[in-house]
Structure 1
Amino acid sequence: MIITNNITRISETKKIPKKINLGIISLLIVFMIAFLMRMLSYASLTADGGITFTGYDEFYHMRRILYTTFNFPSFLNFDTYINYPYGFEVGWPPFFDLLGALLAIILGAGQPDVHTVEFAGAILPVLLGVLTIIPVYVIAASIFNRKTGLVGALVFAVLPAHVYISRFGTVDHHVAEVFLSTVAYAFFILALKQAGESKLSSGSLKNISSDKKPVKPLVYSAVSGLFFSLLIFTWVGAPAFVSFIVLYALIQATLDLKTGRKSDYVFICSAVALLATLLFTIPLSAGAVREGLEMSAMYLSWFQVVYLVIMLTGILLLWGFSSYASKKEMDWKYYPGILILVFGSGLLFLRMFSGEYYAFIIEGMRFFSGKGEYISTIVEAVPLFLTGQGKFTLSGVLGSFGLTFLTALAGLFLLILELKSEKSRPENIFFLVWTLFYAYLALSQRRFTYLFALNVSILTAYLFWVLMESLDFENEIKKLIKRGKGERKVSETALQTEKKSSLKRKSKNRQVTESKSKTDEPDYFKLVSGTALIALIFVSSIWIDVTYAKDGVSIDPGWQDSLEWLEASTPETSYYLEPSETPEYGVLSWWDYGNWIVYVGKRPAVSNNFQTGVEDSANFLLTDSEEEAKTIVEKLKVKYVMTDTLMAEGKFSSITSLAGKEIGEYYEVETVKGDTGLRTVATPKQALLQTQVYKLHKLDGTSLGHFRLVHESAVNSTDDGNSKENTVKVFEYVKGATLSGTASPNETVMATLELSSNTGRKFTYQKGDVADENGLFEITVPYSTESTGDGVHATSAYSLTSGEKPITSGIQVTEDDILNGNRIEVKAPEGA
């Protein structure tokens, strides 16, 4: 008996760890799934033995991580390799790059090589993405229950919008934004929940020495502030996420006034969170702020500190006015109305007395609403349901969320219905307002879907469990399992019972068995419905994740080839890893490719993805005058120009926009009726054919005297000769040699040279000049006739014609003539 009791006690004590272990094991499985989804791109990004990165900004983050690794803890703040030749102060806060550098140092045991640094940068988003599972689970479990938390974490693990920004090789701070903001909000939700349970109030704080209940929400609020400060140290847009706390406090206090509830708990948690954010931000940012007392929302400066002081002051004012309204039993509707009036008055005050601060706030609002001079040209900044041309599309929402967007909408509807109750919990209100805030951001600019992914995951999990419980899916699964395991055993037991019982007993047992059998029979309609719901949520997401993995490489082969050539075959520039001095020359291209040029080509870029130098680049590409183009490149100390097919075609409208011109100046755009309906047809105008980008990329610069083709990417073509991929061309700016001589007055003299590119493509260079009234002509040419190996080279000597009459041939031009701008006198042979 004693032994039996001991065994019973032991088995009972083991039940609790089993339950705990089951939850931990389930979360570990979710972690593993999240890790695998984010490592799907590993194979494509490491196929050549090195590591290729996705996107555009990722390459500049890698440059900063590389610099920081070898100069830890210093980070790259001013870079002479961008906005060449002036250099540029980088506005990105450094925390993400510091994390990448620290990881590289750890992986490299204190002495990492470049490959280790690149691997650390590539794996960092994966690690941060997987870690975000924890706060997602905590938030969902706090607002709903642990089951919802687990399913929410699983949905988040595979949701494309977040997988996309946390894949291997996506070295961008967006994943850190999600992680840090989610952790900060998770702790704030825990603070609200604990504050409600402990009935936190201003009175309870006076007795905190004897009553420890208020300590926990205060600690949670302070930790929330710590992560907010790290977020500020990561992204310049972070103050908007901190401001959300004030917005929530206003809404919650309004609801509390309506229901007659005191709001001390909300304001205490908010004030502590903001105060902690302020106190942590000051030392974190002190070493990174600009010199003096300059205020800037685009850099780490004293702006963030002053902004936090304003937010903290705002919370205290909200608190004071809420207490006053409660004591005076004012109508709750006056509270938000008066505060909105105060906010408007504050903006007016700023406009009158501090135009700079007012401009920061207005520009911040424009940024989050997708407005602005440069934002309008960024594809990822367009609204979620619109194309860049303003047409309705579902591609953005399906590519980000699969079919979970629909389930999240249904979950949001159910949550709103639930929150109609006057006793709704503060944490639920917080989650609802947070969801609407992120939904607005995602709808305004599709790039913010990575933020909204968390809310979509939790709402989907909420709906999932509502539907699963209505279907009694878990019980139906148990029935199906029991039926498979116990069918034979039940039938044998029933048979033995029938043999041993009397006829009357046998009949009764048969009826009981049949009744029980019907109760244990699984409902296949519910099983199929539940399985279909699971497939709806997960299959579409995983399929999109796999698609992203296949298209992981952002640099197409043409750019990769040309950038590698640029690094290997052009004169090396100085100060690459110590960019405090101005390098010898720069490379001009469109801003989309600037970060690639700097990191892969290791050359300074006039314009890059910070939209630096875009006006100069746009003006160069659109000018119809080679003299003006020459003036621009000499002013900017440009030696090479890189063009691609997209710059001459698809990106051309953005180039015209940033040059202050209209696309209608270059294309005749009209809508025509075709076999498949209406379609837009763009017919080039003469102005397009005169632009520098057209002359360079489409005509190989064959009419120009100072730009010569030095490299072009190989092109795969279809049977009909149409290119299947982007073509990239590199041109060198040279002084050019001048061919001078005499011909018939006012006659057009043409210099001709046959050339072969590095791909073996043959083309003809022709440059002409009209002889003056004395018959004098001068033609500046950029190509030498000397052999240059496998690169672009002449296959003939220059020949001159006057009208249709040949003047002379066999003119040799050396490389020295081209580089030094030498003059070559050309004399027609006697009798010509």
Structure 2
Amino acid sequence: MNKERLSLRTILLLCTVCLLGFFLRTACYRNFIQPNGGFCFYSPDPYDHLRRIVLGVKSFPLVPSFDSYAAYPKGLGQIWSPLFDYLLSAFSLIFGGSDTVVEQIGFFANPVLSVATIAATFLIARKSFGNKNAAILAAFVVAASPGHISYTLAPKLDHHVLEPMVILILYSFTFLGTEGRLSVRESLAAISAFPLTILMWRGATLFWAYLFIYLLIRGALESARGNRRCLDDYTKVFLGAAAIIAVICVADPWRTSARFSFNIVSWFHVVALAFCALLLQFLGTSGSVKIFCRRFFFLLALLPTALLFPFVRSFGTEILSGISFIGGTHDSWLESIPEQQFFFVWGFWYGVIGTVTLLWFLIPPAVVLSFREWRQGGFRNGTLLAVAVWGAGMFPLVKLRYSGVMAIPVALASAWLFSWAWVRWHAVLPRIALASLAPILLIPGYKGYVSNVTFTNSPITRVGEYGRSGVFEWIRKNTPQTSYYLNPQREPEYGILAPWRFGAKLYYLAQRPSVTTAFGWEAHGLYEIGGFMATDKLEVAAQIASLNRVRYLLAVPDEFAPYYRLAADGVRKGVLPAETLGTVDGTGSMLQRLATHDGSSYPMGGGYVTASQRYRLVYETPNPADMGAENSFYKVFEVVPGAVIYGRCGAGNAVGLEMPLRTSSGRLLRYTDRAITNEQGEFLFRVPYATDVRQGDTLPLDSYSLSCSGGALRKVSVPEQAIASGLTITR
């Protein structure tokens, strides 16, 4: 422990490192200023948080726990840990609580909290290694970590920024019980760490396991020396934490405790902590490696019998679900998210060097060397054990998702190796070389820094989603307003179906309910959008739209394969009808019909695909100049009953229907459909467009034209009333 006061030089160095970290995370801010003023953000996650922060401001000090605008019509409870949003709601209220204040605080929350993480890393490294230079190095590594920067950029508002702080809090257990037992003050701090970290990040449970391993080893060694007080104190900490979380579950402010889940604050965490306390007493009091192994294998032998009990199976299932999420899975939703892929999938230079840098490779030697030093020192140095356990535990987390938290073990490993070498190399030149090593190892990742400093939304996103022509602004101003927006406890009038990445933008920017969210199978809507876009059957699409009370659709020309995989999962799980799936290549799918062909019929394989019938284009965004205006990227369709045009034209004849319209982008749209008359010479067309009024920003230019191979051309006018009521018009 180092109680030496910080020198002015050290303080200035730390401030410089903090300013560097702040700059690297805010340098791109100009790229996220909205055309209409204020800030825009990147990805759906910031908008989910902004939505909860706004609701928190309106209901403060109560905690918003349900949002009927998300996962419509079922609504969404508390999916992620709530502390982050609640704190930002409180800060927003201090500065007035307006929507503008919320967005400004949200935009700079990540950089400010990153500076706090950098400073905390310095303090913990200094206390761990007793070397202020090593502590400055640790702070610098976090400040300059491309992976951490990428996750904490200003436009990426997310509770992920708290995740490295979770690691630091749990690592700080290293400083507890240095005198052989925990003081009352230390015990209270340790107990509070568990509920605090799970309220910061639901993934904290994994790192509780690392902490448990560390405390088990440390407590078992103390017990073997005849000091059981330390082990008993650790046991009381786990039981005390379990009691606090049990109180939270009883109060259930976020309505999550009913689910016994690894991912949500629930009774699962109470059981897990109590189980850890029992294991500490059973395994930690072994006294020797031989007895420890006997007891461990005894527990393994009991496992098959224990699994006969449903409660034990549920507990084990939740643990395995957490491990599978971390280690990799063949889940169709997770596979569609780039950050759930491994570093190496993105190549060595981008995936590894561009995220965790060459410093990541210092973790294994730090683990080996610290473990060796720990053994040679008589197993008494808790810091050496902590470096070995945390380094070994976190090194295998090789997904992009964990590149942000990886900055902490990389920083601590680098700092420990630095301090180890510093006390052995007394000459000036070796120390200069040592101090230069970390910046040199960061140089190969320069592309990552350039990418973060110049980070921006794509041109199609800037033009299509924001500003006066942005799709969400248009929806907010031109669709019927829905109820309960700021008190979303009751069900609004209708929902909008869109790809899941647009869900949060719909209920924050457009202020309309969204069927989909960014929470995959944890919430309603994922399989619905997959099934709707993947099916080639109009009846299935209509059923999905009807069951979810969909009034509008947002279609974009996405890749088809992810939708097909989601639909296949939905069918397999019984969420979607068995007949949902169509062609594997997407031919005739609703995605192709709407995003590419505007709902009109089009030729396919010597025949044609009929029109989508119930979906009319009411708005499309202009494309950036370099993309051309042939086909818009964002298209809004209204779901309508559609009028039926009935007529006769001789048996077996081909009948064509066409209507010209002018879209919001000025494009000429020719709505067409095709049919073959039956044996009685009858034909039916269900049409979505009225000929007498503008529909959204789409303007009809003429009546419907009917052509028949056995008859003359006919004109048909269809009023809006017929479209809205599903009336039949005979011609």
**Counterparts of 2:500 and 2:415, CA distance in 1:** 41
26, 30, 34: which one aligns with 1:39: 26
* Alignment partner, residue 52 of structure 2: 64
Please identify, of 161-170 and 731-740, the stretch whose mean Cα deviation from structure 2 is larger: 161-170
Matched, 1:85 2:41: no
Change (3 A) 1:73 1:371: farther
The 5-angstrom pairing of residues 452-491 of structure 1 reads 452-464=406-418, 475-476=428-429
* Alignment partner, residue 606 of structure 2: none
373, 394, 400: which one aligns with 2:355: 400
* Alignment partner, residue 63 of structure 2: 75
553, 562, 575: which one aligns with 1:641: 553
Secondary structure of 2:15's counterpart equals helix
Secondary structure of 1:600's counterpart equals helix
Change (3 A) 1:263 1:340: farther
C-alpha deviation, 1:705, in angstroms = 1.1
310, 323, 326: which one aligns with 1:365: 323
Residue type of the partner of 1:626? L
* Alignment partner, residue 200 of structure 2: 234
Please identify, of 304-313 and 94-103, the stretch whose mean Cα deviation from structure 2 is larger: 304-313
Matched, 1:267 2:253: no
Residue type of the partner of 2:414? T
Contact in 2 for aligned 1:737/1:821 (Cα 8 Å)? yes
C-alpha deviation, 1:248, in angstroms = 1.8
Contact in 1 for aligned 2:243/2:270 (Cα 8 Å)? no
The 5-angstrom pairing of residues 660-739 of structure 1 reads 688-702=586-600, 703-716=611-624, 718=626, 727-739=633-645
Change (3 A) 1:822 1:656: closer
* Alignment partner, residue 507 of structure 1: none
Contact in 1 for aligned 2:21/2:143 (Cα 8 Å)? yes
Residue type of the partner of 2:448? I
C-alpha deviation, 1:350, in angstroms = 4.3
**Counterparts of 1:624 and 1:765, CA distance in 2:** 19
Residues 304-360 of structure 1 deviation map (CA, whole Å, 9 limit, x = unaligned): 2233222222222233x33xxx3xxx5x24414522541563575145342332322
667, 677, 694: which one aligns with 1:761: 667
Matched, 1:600 2:509: yes
* Alignment partner, residue 123 of structure 2: 138
Contact in 2 for aligned 1:707/1:782 (Cα 8 Å)? yes
The 5-angstrom pairing of residues 338-737 of structure 1 reads 338-342=295-299, 345-346=302-303, 348-354=305-311, 355-371=313-329, 373=331, 374-386=333-345, 393-412=348-367, 414-419=369-374, 421-424=376-379, 425-440=381-396, 442-443=397-398, 445-464=399-418, 475-476=428-429, 533-539=437-443, 544-553=448-457, 555-560=461-466, 561-611=470-520, 612-646=524-558, 648-649=559-560, 651-652=562-563, 654-659=565-570, 688-702=586-600, 703-716=611-624, 718=626, 727-737=633-643
Contact in 2 for aligned 1:574/1:584 (Cα 8 Å)? yes
C-alpha deviation, 1:615, in angstroms = 1.8
Residue type of the partner of 1:295? F
Residue type of the partner of 2:192? L
Please identify, of 752-761 and 267-276, the stretch whose mean Cα deviation from structure 2 is larger: 267-276
* Alignment partner, residue 822 of structure 1: 727
Residues 383-436 of structure 1 deviation map (CA, whole Å, 9 limit, x = unaligned): 23235xxxx655222232233324445544544554452535122112211122
Residue type of the partner of 2:471? S
Change (3 A) 1:179 1:717: same
The 5-angstrom pairing of residues 286-305 of structure 1 reads 286-288=251-253, 290=255, 295-305=260-270
Residue type of the partner of 2:597? L
Secondary structure of 2:646's counterpart equals strand
Provide the identity percentage.
25
Contact in 2 for aligned 1:614/1:658 (Cα 8 Å)? no
Residue type of the partner of 1:614? L
Secondary structure of 2:636's counterpart equals strand
**Counterparts of 2:629 and 2:638, CA distance in 1:** 27
Change (3 A) 1:718 1:26: closer
User: Which structure 2 residue ranges, 5 or more long, are not aligned?
Assistant: 573-581, 601-610
Residue type of the partner of 2:345? L
Q: Which one has a bigger Cα radius of gyration?
A: 1
* Alignment partner, residue 281 of structure 1: 245
Contact in 1 for aligned 2:54/2:102 (Cα 8 Å)? yes
Matched, 1:117 2:102: yes
* Alignment partner, residue 509 of structure 1: none
Contact in 1 for aligned 2:42/2:156 (Cα 8 Å)? yes
User: Which structure 1 residue ranges, 5 or more long, are not aligned?
Assistant: 1-15, 202-213, 477-522, 662-683, 827-832
* Alignment partner, residue 23 of structure 1: 10
C-alpha deviation, 1:549, in angstroms = 3.7
Contact in 2 for aligned 1:573/1:603 (Cα 8 Å)? yes
Residues 558-615 of structure 1 deviation map (CA, whole Å, 9 limit, x = unaligned): 2442122111211111111111111111111222221222212211111211222222
* Alignment partner, residue 577 of structure 2: none
Q: Report the number of matched residues.
A: 696
Change (3 A) 1:167 1:726: farther
Matched, 1:162 2:148: yes
Please identify, of 263-272 and 463-472, the stretch whose mean Cα deviation from structure 2 is larger: 463-472
**Counterparts of 1:534 and 1:292, CA distance in 2:** 45
**Counterparts of 2:481 and 2:443, CA distance in 1:** 50
C-alpha deviation, 1:782, in angstroms = 0.9
Secondary structure of 1:688's counterpart equals coil
C-alpha deviation, 1:641, in angstroms = 1.2
C-alpha deviation, 1:454, in angstroms = 0.5
**Counterparts of 1:597 and 1:342, CA distance in 2:** 50
Q: RMSD between aligned alpha carbons? A: 3.2
Secondary structure of 1:242's counterpart equals helix
* Alignment partner, residue 281 of structure 2: 316
Contact in 2 for aligned 1:135/1:183 (Cα 8 Å)? no
**Counterparts of 1:147 and 1:292, CA distance in 2:** 45
Please identify, of 128-137 and 697-706, the stretch whose mean Cα deviation from structure 2 is larger: 128-137
**Counterparts of 1:732 and 1:163, CA distance in 2:** 41
- With normalisation by structure 2, the TM-score equals 0.87
Change (3 A) 1:784 1:228: same
Residues 669-691 of structure 1 deviation map (CA, whole Å, 9 limit, x = unaligned): xxxxxxxxxxxxxxx97862111
**Counterparts of 1:420 and 1:595, CA distance in 2:** 52
**Counterparts of 2:305 and 2:337, CA distance in 1:** 31
C-alpha deviation, 1:791, in angstroms = 2.0
**Counterparts of 1:344 and 1:644, CA distance in 2:** 54
Contact in 2 for aligned 1:38/1:126 (Cα 8 Å)? yes
Secondary structure of 2:510's counterpart equals coil
**Counterparts of 1:803 and 1:291, CA distance in 2:** 63
C-alpha deviation, 1:99, in angstroms = 0.5
C-alpha deviation, 1:287, in angstroms = 4.1
C-alpha deviation, 1:556, in angstroms = 4.8
C-alpha deviation, 1:726, in angstroms = 8.4
**Counterparts of 1:772 and 1:650, CA distance in 2:** 36
Secondary structure of 1:708's counterpart equals strand
**Counterparts of 1:191 and 1:748, CA distance in 2:** 84
Residues 163-188 of structure 1 deviation map (CA, whole Å, 9 limit, x = unaligned): 222222322111223213412322x1
C-alpha deviation, 1:779, in angstroms = 1.0
Change (3 A) 1:643 1:348: farther
**Counterparts of 2:702 and 2:584, CA distance in 1:** 32
